[in-house]
Amino acid sequence: MTFVVVRLRSSRLPGKQSRLIGDRSMLQWIVDHLRACKELDDIVIATVAEKENKPLREFARDQDLPCFWYEGEVDHVTTRLRKAAEEFNSDICILVSGDCPLIHAPSIDRLIREARQYPDADIIKVKKDDEGNPPALQGIQVARRRAWQLADDLSDRPELKEHQFPIIGKRPDLFKAHLCRFSKNLYNPYHHRLSVDTWADLEFMNEIYNALSAINRPFSLPDALDLLKKRPELLQINRHVHQMGVGEERRKVLMVVDVGNGYGYGHLMRSRELALQIIERLGWPVSFAIDNEKARHLLNESGIRTINKAQGSRLKAQGIADKDNSSAFQIPKSLDPFDLIILDIYYQRDLGTGWRQGFPRNSKIVVLDHVGSWTKKADLIVVPGVTYNKSIFNQKKKRPRVIAGKQYVILRREIRRLYGKHIKKDIDLLTYLYSPDQKEAVRNLAHKNGYKVHVIEEFRTDFPELLSRSRMFLSGFGYSFYEALALGAYPITLPLSDTHEKDAMKFYDRLGIPSGVLGSVEEIENVLSKLAQKENRFENQRIEDGTPRITEEIASLFKAEQS
């Protein structure tokens, strides 16, 4: 009997079993593959009694499958599986992880036959191949009920209870194993993870599905392995994802971001990328404190949890002119403590001298792109670009560590995937402006001179594609200027403030590119005409993603604490 271990409260990718890979959910793929097995008696959805898991009961009912609804401790996976095996009186128990969509029915049938042939074996294992490569079939365990019962009895610590019987691997002397071997095409020469724990893993699986569909091949383990042999570059999509070990500590992270209304979405996009890479590279769950519904939807789509920033706080985004710049975010007492808090807030906001009192005393605090008197109380300041003014922190007093420079630029994955591609530049000017008068002036300029101009009116999910097609990008100075450079669009700016103008001047000067600071929309005409001349054509700047370096610096805050 097969027990599909599934729970919808994953810390790194909530609801992952319901997320789509191609034309169906990940859980549906697992069930469909299992139904192709010839040796299985039944398929049981084994979950735990939480309200978030009610959709799993509905799924089981719709699929005409039994559902084991465990009423015990939610993190005791070993006991949940033991009780399920006992309730269904299963001798040979097949554990299937609910996050491994590329299971292989013929291989599972083979393991079940081996278990029947060797009744004295507690567990059936697959040998490595002659080159030392592991089997590609992941998320599968075939054992006898007595092995699960003993393993559960021996799992006397939380880190042993909350995983899928790690004690069997730690105490091989207590479990009699029978070893078998798969055919050569079912081994994993890349030693690559084929489970889905993060957004990058889900992207990887969808790329495999899309590539196989394009050549009319099924989404199956052998076909996926053959595809990866021919297209090893696909492995880079989630090669960086950290596999959490048994007992490894997870730090809880909260990101507080000003977004929407008068703020725009640039801060959100870079913070989203940083959050995803913290989840993927460090294995730490991240939540966002925001008060914008569009931003909330965007984050939830990426598998990131959100809470209402206005809850327990006077900090609400209602347009730049209406902001209370002195108010500080207060973490609602109903939330669990956070180990790390990252602030990515409006550049004119001053949280005041006592701002840290609103945060847990033991939390580490990182400030993004904000250098001022109040930020001296932070543990780390990250300026993701070249605009940092070192003279601000010249005093001898203790100050936070500051990391800044081109090597710390955050490039979101949507930009990185377009980097280096030869995309036709069929848009002369892409603009993202706040002022209706400026937008209208740009449109009139385009009409007068026959320029092809695209005016963005609101947040666009296809912004990276539009940027890659553009020869110039006009906006108030911000995060997207580095994205424009990466995709070969010359960035020009109508600064929103004196601070923006000073930062923009540093940007052009320190990167060694012609200044694009404009005093009025009318000056665009002159810039466009110069750009059209071959000798003044803008050349791509080499901009790489510095997010991995930022995550390393963040992780070091806790390593220093441990030492």
Pick 30 or 519 by higher pLDDT. Answer: 30
Band of the pLDDT at 502, cuts 50, 70, 90?
Answer: very high
Same domain assignment for residues 467 and 393:
no
Distances (CA, A) of 433 to 135, 358, 470, 502: 54, 35, 16, 19
* pLDDT-above-70 percentage for the chain: 91
Band of the pLDDT at 379, cuts 50, 70, 90?
Answer: very high
The boundaries of the domain holding residue 455 are 413-536
3-class DSSP state for residue 401? strand
Same domain assignment for residues 283 and 309:
yes
> Which residues 6+ apart lie within 8 Å of 495 measured at CB?
476, 477, 501, 504, 517
Residue 334 lies in a domain: yes
Of the CA atoms within 13 Å of residue 13, those in its CB half-sphere come to 23
Pick 336 or 497 by higher pLDDT. Answer: 497
Longest dimension (CA), the chain: 85
Across the range 519-523, mean pLDDT stands at 86
What pLDDT, on the 0 to 100 scale, is given for residue 291? 82
What pLDDT, on the 0 to 100 scale, is given for residue 322? 40
Closest CA to 6 of 72, 91, 96: 96
Residue 235 lies in a domain: no
Indicate the helix (H) or strand (E) that contains 464: helix 463-468
What pLDDT, on the 0 to 100 scale, is given for residue 323? 44
User: For position 445, which CATH number holds?
Assistant: 3.40.50.2000
pLDDT digits (tens, 9 = 90+) for 86-99: 999 999 999 999 99
Residue 476 lies in a domain: yes
- Domain count along the chain: 3
Q: Other CB atoms closer than 10 Å to residue 322's CB: what's the count? A: 10
Does residue 329 surpass a pLDDT of 90?
no
Q: Other CB atoms closer than 10 Å to residue 205's CB: what's the count? A: 25
User: For position 336, which CATH number holds?
Assistant: 3.40.50.11190
Residue at which a domain ends, from 168, 194, 220? 194
Same domain assignment for residues 114 and 263:
no
Does residue 222 surpass a pLDDT of 80?
yes
Distances (CA, A) of 369 to 321, 380, 402, 415, 445: 21, 11, 10, 20, 34
Same domain assignment for residues 326 and 426:
no
3-class DSSP state for residue 470? strand
3-class DSSP state for residue 249? coil
Indicate the helix (H) or strand (E) that contains 472: strand 470-475
> Which residues 6+ apart lie within 8 Å of 444 measured at CB?
none
Same domain assignment for residues 456 and 486:
yes
pLDDT digits (tens, 9 = 90+) for 173-184: 999 999 999 999
What pLDDT, on the 0 to 100 scale, is given for residue 397? 59
Residue 498 lies in a domain: yes
Across the range 342-346, mean pLDDT stands at 90
Same domain assignment for residues 166 and 283:
no
Residue 484 lies in a domain: yes
Same domain assignment for residues 147 and 9:
yes
**Mean of all residue pLDDT scores within the chain:** 89
What pLDDT, on the 0 to 100 scale, is given for residue 335? 62
Same domain assignment for residues 268 and 382:
yes
Across the range 210-224, mean pLDDT stands at 97
Band of the pLDDT at 324, cuts 50, 70, 90?
Answer: very low
419: tokens are 């980097």
User: For position 159, which CATH number holds?
Assistant: 3.90.550.10
What pLDDT, on the 0 to 100 scale, is given for residue 333? 59
Best-predicted range by mean pLDDT (252-261, 440-449, 483-492, 535-544): 483-492
Residue 98 lies in a domain: yes
> Which residues 6+ apart lie within 8 Å of 298 measured at CB?
268, 272, 461
Contact present, 288 and 321 (Cβ < 8 Å): no
Does residue 332 surpass a pLDDT of 80?
no
Closest CA to 78 of 27, 143, 19: 143
- Pairing relation of β-strands 286-290 and 253-257? parallel
User: Would you say the C-alpha torsion 292, 298, 301, 307 has a positive or negative sign?
Assistant: negative
State the Cα–Cα distance between residues 546 and 131, nearest whole angstrom: 36
Same domain assignment for residues 462 and 492:
yes
What pLDDT, on the 0 to 100 scale, is given for residue 339? 94
Out of 112-126, 220-234, 488-502, least confident range:
488-502
Band of the pLDDT at 349, cuts 50, 70, 90?
Answer: confident
Across the range 12-24, mean pLDDT stands at 95
Same domain assignment for residues 319 and 442:
no
Same domain assignment for residues 50 and 182:
yes
Task: Look up residue 431 and give its amino acid.
Answer: T
Same domain assignment for residues 167 and 80:
yes
Closest CA to 456 of 434, 476, 478: 434
Of the CA atoms within 13 Å of residue 267, those in its CB half-sphere come to 25
Pick 405 or 496 by higher pLDDT. Answer: 405
pLDDT digits (tens, 9 = 90+) for 103-137: 999 999 999 999 999 999 999 999 999 999 999 99
Residue 214 lies in a domain: no
Across the range 431-460, mean pLDDT stands at 88
- Tell me the angle at which helices 436-449 and 524-532 cross, rounded to the nearest 10 degrees: 40
Pick 496 or 114 by higher pLDDT. Answer: 114
Of the CA atoms within 13 Å of residue 457, those in its CB half-sphere come to 2
Residue 220 lies in a domain: no
Across the range 286-301, mean pLDDT stands at 91
Out of 158-162, 193-197, 260-264, 552-556, least confident range:
260-264
Band of the pLDDT at 312, cuts 50, 70, 90?
Answer: very low
Band of the pLDDT at 393, cuts 50, 70, 90?
Answer: low
Out of 25-39, 46-60, 94-108, 259-273, least confident range:
259-273
Across the range 131-148, mean pLDDT stands at 96
